[in-house]
Structure 1
């Protein structure tokens, strides 16, 4: 949300700088994410002053140039060569001094420097309006009629100023601050000085609708009778759905002249990033951002039957919005309709094409209303329409601001569009929204804040926040407060205390010199966050990049893969229909990241994420689990002059998984074929009959449905289990004093035999001397026989107490060979 400091100062006069105000707002919970400095015209006319031409004569070497001397107020006249035909002595002119940078209306900026023009020195430039960005005329220099002394900055003469614009990260609970007046109201409490609403005391509406005359022709058979009839110029309002619209006010304006807005209004809108459209629309936008109350302008002549009806839509009816799109309405949509029920606008969201203001409009019906947040949020979400109006209505507006905003807009349209008020304000308010009553216990304030705050200071803060004290207990320790409707998030005692603390200042809560507790908490060992940081450093050191994705995702990802609907954890998300479940797997959100990067030609990716998954079990209970996901795609190594690039493969992924397990003190669990629904082949690692990790290639169908155009390797580790079963992997041991020995075997076995089976056989057969078993080659060929393959395996043998003899080595290898032949049916290739 953008807030203009210049605009803000019209509501709360303050000499505080932008930085000071930004710090105050951030400290109170309205985080200022940035402050942008805006200038009326680029450069702000720095280095440009008012001067007076003292002398003017023809340039000795150029017929179309003049040689002038100009007083710029510093006691030293400047000699300036000027090419304008209208320059003459005695004129007040605009002078750009040496070093000034000018930003012309057309072309690139340029810097003024001392120079020689046709042999004559020139120490500045006398400017035309297009040369300083104030217009398009280049017929001659600007000649001023002003008593201002020479040397006065030109920006002062033209009334140019700069503005500071705050970018505020408005949180959803602070709907009360979604406008300039809302921020001014916040500063009122922080600065302890008054702020004020725009003056609407000059608003006067007729006590009854203005009578208009209409000529009616009546066919009498042989002749036509012409008759003049008088009628009331008015628009009536009916609220059929009081749940969706609790207050609806409107005002009819006549003689409206639609056209461009004045410069001051355009400047206000541009300062907060809005583009001016026309004076009627600009006024509604201006009032919205000034007071926080959305308005809508209808072409009154396009309201059928002269009647406004606030109702629910008819299921399936068609409606064309201002953007030209045809939308199918649902029965839950709140609409503004005409006399026959035809929709004119989506209430609080978007207007209709047929009833919008155009250049031909002369009669305008201004709408100012309070719509229920849930009704607007549902409609905006259903039709994927996010507007400045829906942003505010969804969070809650102030029902008391409805008539004030209407009067403010009417006065502005009288001023800039020649409008006249044709009828009294129509204000339908069946059930006024009352203040919320909240109990506040002063001892509770001290307990939650952690510091005593004097009751007088609390009373002052509440008064500045428009929160009234309606009752007090006899001992003064308990108050009943009346919270105004614009404080939509303040409904409980804790909310009141938060409001007090925001204004009192978090920085004013002193830390005690000795913090203590009455008990010692049992701290988990190890700290899960430390383990997470260690593994993050490990993977980042291997070239992986950490990602953080949204836990909210699209249910279609899982429904199309056959995931039972009752296992999904669904959420009612009015902000996005596509994000309607909590993810049961981290895979899909990671694939979205891969797709985004691959589509931008970043194809070689190594990513990891610590994320949560959510699911419902058979008993209907919700489960939340922590996972570590690893993604690998593209090339493992880049192409260089030394070697060609190599594609990432399963073993690269398995190596990363093994490193994680080793760092957490876990031996690689027993593998078995993976049964993961989204993986096409791979391994599942089991420990104590529990799946600890699953890794493999993502199924082609999954990749296609998420529009990922290249193979992806994926591993998912049960982070909760890994942390729970963590073992300190750092163990010191003495370096061996005696050498190790390597022996190799080539084993021909059935194709179904895995290396893991051979490794387990070796470990059981030689427990004393065998240190490691690795495979360095796998071969399949016709010469081995059908259904056979060959493993080339190396064995590292070592005795920590003595040097191994040939006899001990041969005995160990014979034991290994015997068990391979017996348990795996191996044939030793010699």
Structure 2
């Protein structure tokens, strides 16, 4: 549910900052899930001012340009080159100053910079209305008629206002708060301010020229029905203030009559419906149920078959509206409507809920009716809407108010004791504070004694029917945060704060690897000194009393243990291996001995056994790299830097790390080294610094909402040098895309005689998505063109068309 802060201020004084108000509402039970600022013009014309053209002469270097000087106020005279044909000295104009960002089409903006145009300095831009996002005209600059001083913000001249809108996660029990007045009631109790209801004192009956008979046949499904007629209305576009109110909460204006009914719905929480009186045959409105299978065309143009249990609003001959759910196409207000019948009713929540579910219709009206509206609001809302319709559409109120309410719905009467309240809350709250909270919530207190009182709860509070509900009302306004935990209160139910549990994180990684077909191994930390010949002798941790020449030092690398394991399994015809180990490496330093925790992984042989679905294939570097990436991403380590390397142990590989810290490496074990272990297959090996990864793990929960705007895919084919890596392509793309590219995928690589020697061809797909709006072709094409230019300039790429 969206609630506009500016709209709220019509009913209550708000002295809190918007964020503080949101916190107060959340603490009081109306959870604010988001705060959105809606600008009538994107950017709010920040940096755009009113200026006066002092001089205007032809540009010496361009026939279609003019050289002007513009007074921007406070003695600031700016030279501006302008290409508009209608610019002239003495004009009041709209100027975007240097540093301003404009959004011409509401899309991607551009920044105004100090520039030299054909040799002349230009310090700003005199704007046309389309350049400001105020219209579509580009015939010339905007020329204003105003006495406002130079330097006045353009937003003040155009009366631009931003709207701050809360997104409130309304729980099903709080139907009373499904409106601006309903939300304001809670603010009254939270802040002590006074509620101002809309003024309806001007309501009066103008004549009796359009009487309408109302018959309610099903009193159980419609306990109260109110209505009146208005004649002589003019259906047209709503005034700006009304459209602004509706658009601020995400509603599209339709026409002035329908817009008023929607306005009152979101103001008071009372759904209304306007019928074209010319379609009410026989001047009779009948609230009844129709025969099973009756066909009815709703406002969306769909033909629906009615159930005999659907409550309908009908005229003398045909149904006009599904009561409390959806109007009919035939009887709705159109451009030709001149007389209307305005309905304001209270329908049974059960009846509306079942009908809405039966026809899979969810509307703003049914949302409120099926949760329970205020039966005492129908006439007030009717008068409020009638006055607004007269204000925006003219017309005369041409009938008495019909109000059929044979059995008024009674208040809830709830006896409560102070002892009961204090027992459930856990502390003693002063009686005066309890009474103030409840009366601020429009709950009357009767039979007050030292022990308790009787609460008289209005029927619109459908969630307050028991003494426990009264306690909840007191507690949510008093504040849960104000309830202390005493020495005898247990807190063991509270969730522990997450800590960096090394063993727990090892278990998580082990579960992932094991689930992906890896087997955990445990190898000896004591190894052969010949394996560590490249390590400085003074750094080796030697065993003083070793029992074997093959086991005389503590290992400095994990790879040799893995090669031993691969060799042993290979000799026993187990050639397809996926193995991992958490282990330590050891070094001797000047200050003593150190050990480092490592996570090592290896893959060799076939990726999986051949089967009837797919033939077998040998494992590749990228098979192991994908598992390494998954582990890093699991701990939210995503900004990773890689560099190529090779040495005596690895034929090729990549080092992995952040900008400040090395995290490990991955590569293909040199076949010559593998051969020394009698291994014929390729062995891919990865080694991660587990201690370094533990330092980078963050306990912060990182999440991002799934974008509601569609993604777009574009493909490119590049011919590049073989020395260019995919990570270089990724880096160039990210810098060129203004964060619009969310994914880059290489789906084909070609190296062969079809292209130049020393080159390779990459087929790449790019996924583009904007989190805030739907991308248009102009933005997509601009991004892809920029991408191609940067690939050509920075990587020497040739784009294959």
TM over 0.5: yes
Larger Rg: 1
Query: Quick one: structure 1 residues 117 and 536, their matched pair in 2 at CA, closer, same or farther if it must change by over 3 Å?
Result: closer
Provide the C-alpha distance between the structure 2 equivalents of 1:640 and 1:37, rounded to a whole number of angstroms: 58
Question: What is residue 158 of structure 1 aligned with on the other side?
Answer: 158
1:446 and 2:445 aligned: no
- 2:254 is aligned, of 264, 268, 277, to 277
Preserved contact between residue 268 and residue 381 of structure 2 (Cα < 8 Å): yes
Deviations 1:365-408 (A, max 9, x none): 11110001001001111111111100000000011211121122
1:403 and 2:375 aligned: no
Provide the C-alpha distance between the structure 1 equivalents of 2:348 and 2:506, rounded to a whole number of angstroms: 49
1:441-520 equivalences under 5 Å are: 441-473=417-449, 476-515=450-489
Provide the C-alpha distance between the structure 1 equivalents of 2:399 and 2:12, rounded to a whole number of angstroms: 33
Question: What is residue 251 of structure 1 aligned with on the other side?
Answer: 228
1:85-234 equivalences under 5 Å are: 85-105=85-105, 109-206=109-206, 209-210=208-209, 233-234=210-211
- Give 1:345 deviation, angstroms: 0.9
Deviations 1:501-550 (A, max 9, x none): 11111111112134369xx99xxxxxxxxxx9999998666449xxxxxx
1:69 and 2:69 aligned: yes
- Give 1:298 deviation, angstroms: 0.7
Preserved contact between residue 128 and residue 142 of structure 2 (Cα < 8 Å): yes
Provide the TM-score with structure 1 as the length reference.
0.59
Provide the C-alpha distance between the structure 2 equivalents of 1:439 and 1:347, rounded to a whole number of angstroms: 36
Question: What is residue 12 of structure 1 aligned with on the other side?
Answer: 12
- Give 1:648 deviation, angstroms: 10
- Give 1:105 deviation, angstroms: 4.2
Preserved contact between residue 280 and residue 417 of structure 1 (Cα < 8 Å): yes
Question: What is residue 22 of structure 2 aligned with on the other side?
Answer: 22
Query: Quick one: structure 1 residues 234 and 480, their matched pair in 2 at CA, closer, same or farther if it must change by over 3 Å?
Result: same
Q: Which stretches in structure 1 are left out of the alignment for 5+ residues?
A: 211-232, 522-531, 545-637, 650-830
Preserved contact between residue 297 and residue 329 of structure 2 (Cα < 8 Å): yes
1:355-370 equivalences under 5 Å are: 355-370=331-346
Question: What is residue 772 of structure 2 aligned with on the other side?
Answer: none
- 1:290 is aligned, of 248, 267, 274, to 267
Provide the C-alpha distance between the structure 2 equivalents of 1:646 and 1:375, rounded to a whole number of angstroms: 59
1:509-658 equivalences under 5 Å are: 509-515=483-489, 542-543=514-515
Q: Which stretches in structure 2 are left out of the alignment for 5+ residues?
A: 494-503, 517-602, 615-801
Query: Quick one: structure 1 residues 178 and 645, their matched pair in 2 at CA, closer, same or farther if it must change by over 3 Å?
Result: farther
- 2:399 is aligned, of 423, 431, 443, to 423
- 1:333 is aligned, of 310, 316, 320, to 310
Provide the C-alpha distance between the structure 1 equivalents of 2:611 and 2:10, rounded to a whole number of angstroms: 65
Deviations 1:181-240 (A, max 9, x none): 11111111111101212222222223x512xxxxxxxxxxxxxxxxxxxxxx21111111
Provide the C-alpha distance between the structure 1 equivalents of 2:507 and 2:291, rounded to a whole number of angstroms: 57
- Give 1:29 deviation, angstroms: 0.9
Provide the C-alpha distance between the structure 2 equivalents of 1:537 and 1:464, rounded to a whole number of angstroms: 55
- 1:351 is aligned, of 321, 327, 331, to 327
Deviations 1:114-139 (A, max 9, x none): 11222211000111222101122223
Question: What is residue 566 of structure 1 aligned with on the other side?
Answer: none
- Aligned positions, number: 518
- 2:408 is aligned, of 432, 437, 441, to 432
Question: Which has the higher mean CA deviation after the structures are superposed, 50-59 or 283-292?
Answer: 50-59
Query: Quick one: structure 1 residues 254 and 639, their matched pair in 2 at CA, closer, same or farther if it must change by over 3 Å?
Result: farther
Preserved contact between residue 256 and residue 361 of structure 1 (Cα < 8 Å): yes
- Give 1:645 deviation, angstroms: 7.3
Question: What is residue 219 of structure 2 aligned with on the other side?
Answer: 242
Cα RMSD for the two superposed structures: 2.7
Deviations 1:755-782 (A, max 9, x none): xxxxxxxxxxxxxxxxxxxxxxxxxxxx
Provide the C-alpha distance between the structure 1 equivalents of 2:286 and 2:51, rounded to a whole number of angstroms: 63
Preserved contact between residue 93 and residue 144 of structure 1 (Cα < 8 Å): yes
1:383 and 2:382 aligned: no
Query: Quick one: structure 1 residues 640 and 131, their matched pair in 2 at CA, closer, same or farther if it must change by over 3 Å?
Result: farther
Provide the C-alpha distance between the structure 1 equivalents of 2:128 and 2:161, rounded to a whole number of angstroms: 20
Provide the C-alpha distance between the structure 1 equivalents of 2:514 and 2:484, rounded to a whole number of angstroms: 45
- Give 1:64 deviation, angstroms: 3.1
Provide the C-alpha distance between the structure 1 equivalents of 2:508 and 2:467, rounded to a whole number of angstroms: 42
Deviations 1:784-824 (A, max 9, x none): xxxxxxxxxxxxxxxxxxxxxxxxxxxxxxxxxxxxxxxxx
Query: Quick one: structure 1 residues 537 and 308, their matched pair in 2 at CA, closer, same or farther if it must change by over 3 Å?
Result: farther
Provide the C-alpha distance between the structure 2 equivalents of 1:327 and 1:533, rounded to a whole number of angstroms: 57
Deviations 1:708-739 (A, max 9, x none): xxxxxxxxxxxxxxxxxxxxxxxxxxxxxxxx
Provide the C-alpha distance between the structure 2 equivalents of 1:378 and 1:539, rounded to a whole number of angstroms: 47
- Give 1:456 deviation, angstroms: 0.7
Preserved contact between residue 106 and residue 130 of structure 1 (Cα < 8 Å): no
The 3-state SS of whatever aligns with 2:422 is helix
The 3-state SS of whatever aligns with 2:472 is helix
Provide the TM-score with structure 2 as the length reference.
0.62
Preserved contact between residue 85 and residue 140 of structure 2 (Cα < 8 Å): yes
Question: What is residue 60 of structure 1 aligned with on the other side?
Answer: 60
Preserved contact between residue 42 and residue 106 of structure 2 (Cα < 8 Å): no
